[in-house]
Structure 1
Amino acid sequence: MTEHNWYLCTESRLEQQFSDHIAPFWQEHVTLGSFQGNGDISVSYAYCIPEQAKHSVLISSGRIESLLKYKEVIYELYHNGFAVFVLDHRGQGLSGRMTVNPHQGYIDDFQHYVDDICHFIDAVVSPHQRGPLNLLCHSMGSAIGALTILQRPGQFNRVVFGSPMFGIRPALPGWLAKALIGINRCANWLLSGSSGYFFGQRDYHADEFTVNRLTSSEIRYQLFRNLYAEQPEIQLGGVTPQWLAAASAAMWQVEQHAQQITLPALVFSAGDDTVVDNKRQQRVVANMPDAEYILVEGARHEILIETDAIRQPVMKRIFDFFSGEF
């Protein structure tokens, strides 16, 4: 196999690339839309299709993320010949909220996320799809993506799970996690009669780069935080006990049925991740029949916005994988 010269953005020119290239690209080539999901919740999406595209990629993002945060990744995919489709999961990004406080991370069942993706595929992706459809997932989006694969086993060609949320940290014993979630749900109900935060959670807060747990790339971290400051409607804070209960159920379901995820999978595990449970991640991936587990040394949780030294080899591997060249 000859090495492909994939197009990639660089940290040294990233600010200029955003202003001179990515911003006008977004205006000229990206189609934005929305649909009404279950419970009459608005779900926002975007897509872009280059000429001569031979492959398609659907992005399933992580918790608190918006499709607007993926502009660099979308720009790279597009310029490497991939048709790109992405949605904001309900309750975050540009999509509608289910709580009075728009900062609360809430869901009562991950099946709602799966239903939204399935509707998105049927109504938007399939009519515009070019070539085989691949799935690119990050963190919470990996749990959602895995559940979608289990529900529609023939839908996707290949899948990449990045820092997959197959377990979260701190990794509490199951009985203790359930007890804490139950106590907190009761406390919220007694105090307000509606959803509240889980213990210690709060509204959106931008940590200083020096104490952030997400990336070691200062420029990519700052661009992410600047975006959320400029568009406060996409900000999301901590989780509710309902979200935690639903996430626990979803992760358990993925682990119990991992052997049924038979399509080719690449799994990138961030070596310095303090957000998800890498040990449980390894246990789940070991049961997937055609998965390759790759430990990315030195990477924090958000590999897709890491330093060039960490990110570029990962992106090249993803492009090779989705194009069938690896």
Structure 2
Amino acid sequence: MEWTFTSENDLATTFATAINPFWQEHVTEGAFKGQEGFSVRYAFCIPKNPRSTVVISSGRIESYLKYKELIFDLYQNGFAVFILDHRGQGLSDRLTHDPQHGYVSSFDDYVDDLITFVKEIVKPKQCGELQLVCHSMGGAIGALTLLRVPTLFDKAVLASPMFGIKPALPDWVANGLIRTGLAVNRMRKQQSGYFFGQTPYIAFPYSLNKLTHSKSRYALFRSLYDEEQEIQLGGVTTEWLAAAHEAMHRIEDSARAVTTPMIIFSADGDSIIDNTRQRRVAKKMPNAELEVIPRAYHELFTESDSIREPVLNRLCDYLSS
């Protein structure tokens, strides 16, 4: 099958002439009430005669606004696309006294929201198979969702899933640091506080970025977060890290029970994810195909064309097979 994708050449022009008008004309935005009454924002678009219905579970700090190019590409190739902003980030409600805090009390809250989203918003409009596409933290949320409701999705694609994070500290060190951080927050009588070394939002220059090789896609990402300051998010809190630590252990311990057919893309140049642990976990999942993407940094969906296009070709081939 021949698929067509946007190119990083003249991408700013493509946004102005094609992607932003598409967003205005074809994308519906809304919100639903998640666990504990928090507002969770979402967006969706449905082409004529869709091949299937894709649900996107995004990464930490992300908003669906960051996914405009990918959503446009999937829509142009015939896929219905639904995406939510996880609680505590993007346009969804923030959860603590500081809106910059990367916080969640448990990854089960993310899973609850995703299942509610699918049942209340996606299912009534579903066409064809229901498929899950995840990035990074969204991959951990996706794996936990597949453990909770194994029949919810027909197949899945996980890009750079967060089954382990760097630095890959021994458990006793990680647990000690987390316990210390939680104790400090309790002493300060705070619901949450940044983990050691974490700060509010910082816009790093391209030269220091380890997310993508694409200058144009990185520039668009940073300009979006400058323009839409409400989607900015700072570093992780100790509470988020404790929740992530527990979630990643649960995924590894239960990996053999994740039976949904899937592709797992592992970015070989990833400096965010612990690829050793990620690949170990992936190999335990009985119906998962592990594909290592040479040279790629963490963000496969916003990488340079030479990396991104083969990944998207494989993704679209798999979802339409």
TM-score if structure 2 supplies the norm length?
0.99
- Write the distance in 2 (CA, Å) between the matches of 1:89 and 1:251: 18
SS across alignment from 1:12: coil
**Alignment partner for residue 89 of structure 2, among 70, 92, 116?**
92
Match for residue 49 of structure 1? 46
- Write the distance in 2 (CA, Å) between the matches of 1:135 and 1:278: 21
**Alignment partner for residue 110 of structure 1, among 100, 107, 111?**
107
1:21 aligns with 2:18: yes
1:230-269 matched pairs, under 5 angstroms: 230-269=227-266
Percent of matched pairs sharing the same residue: 52
**Alignment partner for residue 149 of structure 1, among 146, 149, 155?**
146
- Write the distance in 2 (CA, Å) between the matches of 1:193 and 1:84: 38
- Write the distance in 2 (CA, Å) between the matches of 1:76 and 1:141: 20
1:135-146 matched pairs, under 5 angstroms: 135-146=132-143
> Which whole-Å deviations, capped at 9, do the CAs of 1:84-110 have from their partners, x for residues lacking one?
000000000000011111110001100
1:123 aligns with 2:120: yes
Match for residue 301 of structure 1? 298
Shift, 1:128, TM fit:
0.5
Match for residue 33 of structure 1? 30
SS across alignment from 2:150: coil
> Which whole-Å deviations, capped at 9, do the CAs of 1:209-258 have from their partners, x for residues lacking one?
00111111000000000000000000001011110010011111111111
1:159 aligns with 2:152: no
Shift, 1:54, TM fit:
2.3
1:314 aligns with 2:311: yes
Match for residue 181 of structure 1? 178
- Paired letter, 1:272: G
Shift, 1:75, TM fit:
0.3
SS across alignment from 1:268: strand
- Write the distance in 1 (CA, Å) between the matches of 2:101 and 2:11: 31
RMSD of the TM alignment (CA)? 0.8
Gaps of 5+ in 2: none
Number of aligned pairs? Answer: 321
**Stretches (4+) displaced over 4 A:** none
SS across alignment from 2:9: helix
Shift, 1:308, TM fit:
0.2
1:171-210 matched pairs, under 5 angstroms: 171-210=168-207
- Write the distance in 1 (CA, Å) between the matches of 2:298 and 2:189: 34
> Which whole-Å deviations, capped at 9, do the CAs of 1:115-172 have from their partners, x for residues lacking one?
0001101110000111001100000000000000111101111111101100000001
Match for residue 267 of structure 2? 270
Shift, 1:194, TM fit:
3.1
Shift, 1:192, TM fit:
4.3
Match for residue 71 of structure 1? 68
Gaps of 5+ in 1: none
**Alignment partner for residue 58 of structure 1, among 55, 59, 73?**
55
Shift, 1:290, TM fit:
1.3
> Which whole-Å deviations, capped at 9, do the CAs of 1:255-285 have from their partners, x for residues lacking one?
1111111121111111111101000011101
- Write the distance in 2 (CA, Å) between the matches of 1:72 and 1:17: 9
